[in-house]
Amino acid sequence: MAPRSKQTPAPTAVPHVRVAVIGSGFGGLGAGVRLRRAGITDFVVLERADAVGGTWRDNSYPGCACDVPSHLYSFSFAPNPQWPRSFSGQPDIRAYLERVADTFGLRPHLRFGAEVLEARWEEDATRWRLTTKAGEWTADAVVSAAGPLADPQIPDIPGLADFPGRVFHSSRWDHDYDLAGKRVAVVGTGASAAQIIPAIQPKVGRLTVFQRTPAWVLPRRDREISGLEKWLHGALPPTGALRRGTLFALRELQVDAFVRRPGLLRLVQQIAERHIARGVADPALRARLTPDYRIGCKRILLSNTYYPALAAANTDVVPAGLREVRGSTVVGADGSEHEVDAIVFGTGFHVTDMPIAQRVHGVGGRSLAEEWKGGMEALRGSTVRGFPNLFFVIGPNTGLGNSSMILMIESQLNYLVDALTSMASVGATAMQPTARAQRHWNLELQQRMSRTVWTTGGCSSWYLDDQGRNTVLWPGSTTSFRRATRRVDLAEYELIKRTAPVAAEVAA
């Protein structure tokens, strides 16, 4: 054998773990905590960025906060008596997630700068091989917690590449750029834009808002949490649990209106109409801001400052999308032209075409993106036939229109841990849903979906894929999803057993 040159690094063993988790947002960190609690410590959390936090690391735009009360928008196993507001801001949520990583001993498992470029199922070895920017791993199981709203979407606008000013997406805020006195275009009027617009309107010179479709907006009951409340929740934890339980129950009670009786939402729509009337004096602007679809069909926004910001003297609301950019002029689909210094895109994320699907290859090398060409689907939002031992956290049809995603994440983690322990107890190496179980689950789910306000409310939204199918939301209560994911039913699965031992291997 030729002697190894000094420059050639020595071969290193490809590390093998029982579980590789992709992402370190609420989903990935929650998975880490639950795996450790189940006695599974042989796992890594692969994160493309250089810190934990996911959504709450990436979205640092002015005004960024949760729109589900903090005492519910947090882990049940990590209550935070110190939430500063009922709807806490991004810095506090991010700090909370950093604390979770510390408190629950997750640091040794975290690998930063480890963007997963490819995850490939190896049938012979019955394991996954993950190629990342920080090296290779093999794993018995993969947990994809790569996030439903993690990859920004910027529309393909003619002329945008030649725009001489600054351009950025809401989730990649350019903090080096001072907006004071500038002419700024905000494209989009969804949940992020509704927080950005009131936060920047007082300081910019001119604000031009491109609104393709108006959103329904309800008052936001935000307030500071008093010192007494914080003390009480810290000294007497059941008071915090009671608060969380009340917030939970109030949201569960609303579910029926969204999924079975959209007519009940008429009353809520009246509250929203009064909210517009209070915030906007000009009847022409009020008309422009009033949606023509039923409330709830698109995500309901919560804000007390959005309408006053849109009605301010330095704001123009363009009732159309952005069509074209010509030099420093932005042109609306209505033909209107506006000179601007910066364009902020509040245009959402790749949701129904989640980018991780292009990187995951299952049985026979087939990618998840190919598998989902006709629309995303999974069994119980968690597993997909043809992709053994791949578990989703926030998979297809697990999103919510009205409550905390952390409830859904924790349900999926119950399912994950039960799957891993059930497999071990029956001596299986891997599992994948049967075609029948996956089909049955989705047929029933889409049948329920057909009655929901998201389908019947007369809008198009980011919940729908390009075939008009809602593959994003869960058409039920969080309690029913908790029940559906409490235990893995092995009858819904094909079990795979590894027959030959897998040899250790080295990478060059």
Ligand X SMILES: Cc1cc2nc3c(=O)[nH]c(=O)nc-3n(C[C@H](O)[C@H](O)[C@H](O)COP(=O)(O)OP(=O)(O)OC[C@H]3O[C@@H](n4cnc5c(N)ncnc54)[C@H](O)[C@@H]3O)c2cc1C
| Least gap, CB of 152 to ligand X (angstroms) | 9
In the range 116-135, which residues lie near ligand X by CB under 6 A? 116
Q: Which is nearer to ligand X, 46 or 431 (CB)?
A: 46
Site map (CB under 6 A) of ligand X, residues 230-269, x = contact: ----------------------------------------
Q: Which is nearer to ligand X, 52 or 265 (CB)?
A: 52
| Least gap, CB of 339 to ligand X (angstroms) | 29
Q: What are φ and ψ of residue 12, in 5° steps?
A: -120, 150
CA-to-CA distance for 393 and 143, rounded, in angstroms? 7
Stretch that binds ligand X, among 11-19, 41-49, 458-466, 476-484 (CB under 6 A): 41-49
CA-to-CA distance for 354 and 373, rounded, in angstroms? 12
For tokens 């939402």, what's the residue? Answer: 265
- Read off the DSSP letter of residue 264: G
| Least gap, CB of 215 to ligand X (angstroms) | 14
The strand pair at 166-169 and 135-144 is best described as unpaired
Q: Would the CA dihedral through 178, 87, 473, 491 be positive or negative?
A: positive
CA-to-CA distance for 497 and 23, rounded, in angstroms? 28
- Read off the DSSP letter of residue 109: G
| Least gap, CB of 394 to ligand X (angstroms) | 4
Tallying the residues shown for the chain, one arrives at 508
Q: Which is nearer to ligand X, 27 or 332 (CB)?
A: 27
Site map (CB under 6 A) of ligand X, residues 132-171, x = contact: -------------xxxxxx---------------------
* CB burial readout 298-310, b (16+ within 10 A) else e: bbbbbbbbbbebb
Q: Which of 280, 340, 339 is nearest to 310 (CA)?
A: 280
Q: Which is nearer to ligand X, 370 or 494 (CB)?
A: 370
Q: Which of 373, 300, 315 is nearest to 186 (CA)?
A: 315
The beta-strand segments (E) located in 94-134 are 110-111, 116-122, 127-132
In the range 16-35, which residues lie near ligand X by CB under 6 A? 22-28
CA-to-CA distance for 196 and 189, rounded, in angstroms? 10
Q: Locate 459 and state its tokens.
A: 């809008």
Q: Which is nearer to ligand X, 26 or 462 (CB)?
A: 26
| Least gap, CB of 228 to ligand X (angstroms) | 25
Tell me the residue type at 240. Answer: G
Under a CB-based contact definition with an 8 Å cutoff, are residues 325 and 162 in contact? Answer: yes
| Least gap, CB of 177 to ligand X (angstroms) | 19
Q: Which is nearer to ligand X, 310 or 394 (CB)?
A: 394
Q: Which is nearer to ligand X, 94 or 127 (CB)?
A: 94
Q: Helix or strand or coil: residue 72?
A: coil
CA-to-CA distance for 155 and 163, rounded, in angstroms? 14
How many residues sit close enough to ligand X to count as binding (CB under 6 A)? 33
Site map (CB under 6 A) of ligand X, residues 267-286, x = contact: --------------------
Site map (CB under 6 A) of ligand X, residues 320-359, x = contact: ------------------------------------x---
Site map (CB under 6 A) of ligand X, residues 54-93, x = contact: xx---x----x-xxx----x--------------------
| Least gap, CB of 327 to ligand X (angstroms) | 31
Q: Which of 369, 372, 374 is nearest to 358 (CA)?
A: 369
| Least gap, CB of 66 to ligand X (angstroms) | 3
CA-to-CA distance for 184 and 281, rounded, in angstroms? 24
* Contact flag: residue 413 with ligand X (CB under 6 A): no
Tell me the residue type at 251. Answer: R
Q: How far is CA 461 from the centre of its chain?
A: 15
Q: Which of 442, 454, 438 is nearest to 491 (CA)?
A: 438
Q: Which is nearer to ligand X, 163 or 391 (CB)?
A: 391
Q: Which is nearer to ligand X, 67 or 174 (CB)?
A: 67
Q: Which is nearer to ligand X, 46 or 200 (CB)?
A: 46
Q: Locate 426 and state its tokens.
A: 């029956």
Out of 20, 21, 44, 46, name the contact with ligand X by CB under 6 A. 46
Question: Helices 26-37 and 90-103: crossing angle, nearest 10°?
Answer: 20
Q: Which is nearer to ligand X, 192 or 208 (CB)?
A: 192
In the range 355-384, which residues lie near ligand X by CB under 6 A? 356
Out of 88, 138, 192, 471, name the contact with ligand X by CB under 6 A. 192
Q: Which is nearer to ligand X, 220 or 469 (CB)?
A: 220
Q: Which is nearer to ligand X, 194 or 285 (CB)?
A: 194
| Least gap, CB of 427 to ligand X (angstroms) | 31
| Least gap, CB of 49 to ligand X (angstroms) | 5
Site map (CB under 6 A) of ligand X, residues 388-407, x = contact: -----xx---------xx--
Q: Would the CA dihedral through 59, 64, 70, 72 be positive or negative?
A: negative
The beta-strand segments (E) located in 336-466 are 337-339, 342-345, 360-361, 390-392, 430-433
Binding site for ligand X (CB under 6 A): 22-28, 46-49, 54-55, 59, 64, 66-68, 73, 115-116, 145-150, 192, 356, 393-394, 404-405
